[in-house]
Structure 1
Amino acid sequence: MRNTRWVLRTLAGQPVAPPTDGGEPYLLLRADSAAEGNGACNRFRGRYTAPGPGQLTFGPLLSTRMACPALPTETAFVKALEQTRTYQISGDTLRLLGADQAPLARLEAVYLH
Structure 2
Amino acid sequence: MSEGRLSFGPLMSTRMACPPDTQDALFMRDLQRAGSFFVENEDLYLELPMGSGSIRFRQAP
Measured against the shorter chain, the TM-score band is: 0.7 to 0.9
Q: More helix by proportion, 1 or 2?
A: 2
4+ long deviations beyond 6 Å: none
Q: Are 1:105 and 2:55 an aligned pair?
A: yes
Q: TM-score, normalised by structure 2?
A: 0.75
Distance of 2:34 and 2:6 partners within structure 1:
7
Q: Partner of 1:84 in structure 2?
A: 34
Count matched residues.
Answer: 60
Q: CA RMSD in A?
A: 1.9
Question: Which ranges of structure 2 fall in alignment gaps of 5 or more residues?
Answer: none
Question: Which ranges of structure 1 fall in alignment gaps of 5 or more residues?
Answer: 1-49
Distance of 2:24 and 2:6 partners within structure 1:
20
CA contact (8 A) 1:86 1:101 kept: no
Percent of counterpart pairs with the same letter?
27
CA contact (8 A) 1:95 1:103 kept: no
Q: How does 1:32-43 map to 2 (within 5 A)?
A: none
